[in-house]
Amino acid sequence: MSAIQFSSGDVIADRRADYARMLSEAGDHAAAAELLEQALEIVPRWTAGWLLLGEAHQKSGQVEQAIEAFRRVEDLDATGIFGAALKLALLGAAPTPETPPSAYVEGLFDDYADRFETALLDKLNYSVPEKLFALARPHAPFALTVDLGCGTGLFGVEVAGATHRLEGFDLSANMLAKAEEKGIYRHLAQADLSSEAAADVLFAEGLAKARADLVSAADVLMYLGSLDTTFSLARDLLKPGGLFAFSVEDAGGAEEGYTLLPSLRYAHTETYIRTLLAAFGFDLLQMQKTDIRMDGGKVVYGILFLARLTA
């Protein structure tokens, strides 16, 4: 989130919020909440201030106060860029959204783009692109690969030498700019994979259906809950016999098909993925359960899938 979005427009309120952040970083979340309440008395319609207050209350164990603050965020934030719906769902105060607000995901990655690769590769031991390509490599070369949620192009770097044409689509314009710098994509475009309107971008003039030999979604689906739209897009992109390579965070034995995590990402069950593959005409060729990154000092486990379109 940009500094502009987090500024209240009032110097005194911003200063109190800065002190509140320092207190929160020191572990005194209750004192941070008190300072934020003072700031909000000055600027009561400051959306980001209510978000910070909700987080401070949540960390100090004041759940009801946190819910009240996040509801104020939801009321003030028409776009959903602050993700209040996700935070309320985690606190049991709202249903789990099938997908997060697009503005929230777009803002998250627009802000993250400049440090994305450094954070993932140098600090979080991120390994999905190479592991996922290892599943697809025996089936190379590919005439055309479509990289869904391409980000800065980490999977693209893996597959570029094994495909004649590489296309990339992502929700974040800043991530697409980083991907373009790599010089490996023949076509890049902005698309919201949670929306059926993504088809208008993926199948724009000159971009035919059933054109791809490989469709990839590396570390993308955890930013979606329901995956019907993405699986439908993958099916429509692929030639008969084409491959779909993708990863999810592992929800283990969860009762529901997908679960919203404290990280505000989604985890999916193996059963849910197998059901979707069958429903959309895919045969599962290979599956690998593995560690995919670190998060907060803990290992995050995921599942990699390679499937072939048969229907």
Mean pLDDT over residues 80-107, rounded? Answer: 95
Mean pLDDT over residues 169-175, rounded? Answer: 96
pLDDT band at 3 (very low <50, low <70, confident <90, very high): very low
- pLDDT score of 4 more than 70: no
Question: pLDDT tens, 119-153?
Answer: 777 778 889 999 999 999 999 999 999 999 999 99
Mean pLDDT over residues 194-213, rounded? Answer: 96
Which tops the pLDDT comparison, 255 or 199? 199
Please report the pLDDT score of residue 55 as a whole number. 95
User: CA-CA distance, 152 to 168, in Å (whole number)?
Assistant: 10
Question: pLDDT tens, 44-65?
Answer: 999 999 999 999 999 999 999 9
Domains located in the chain, CATH noted? 3-95 (1.25.40.10), 115-309 (3.40.50.150)
Please report the pLDDT score of residue 1 as a whole number. 42
Q: What is the pTM of this model?
A: 0.92
Please report the pLDDT score of residue 5 as a whole number. 57
Please report the pLDDT score of residue 253 as a whole number. 87
Mean pLDDT over residues 214-221, rounded? Answer: 97
Please report the pLDDT score of residue 151 as a whole number. 95
Residues of the chain with pLDDT > 90, as a percent, come to: 88
- pLDDT score of 262 more than 80: yes
User: DSSP labels for 138-192?
Assistant: GG--EEEEEEET-TTTHHHHHHGGGEEEEEEEES-HHHHHHHHHTT--SEEEE--
Mean pLDDT over residues 24-43, rounded? Answer: 94
Residues of the chain with pLDDT > 70, as a percent, come to: 98
The number of beta carbons lying within 10 Å of the beta carbon of residue 91 is: 15
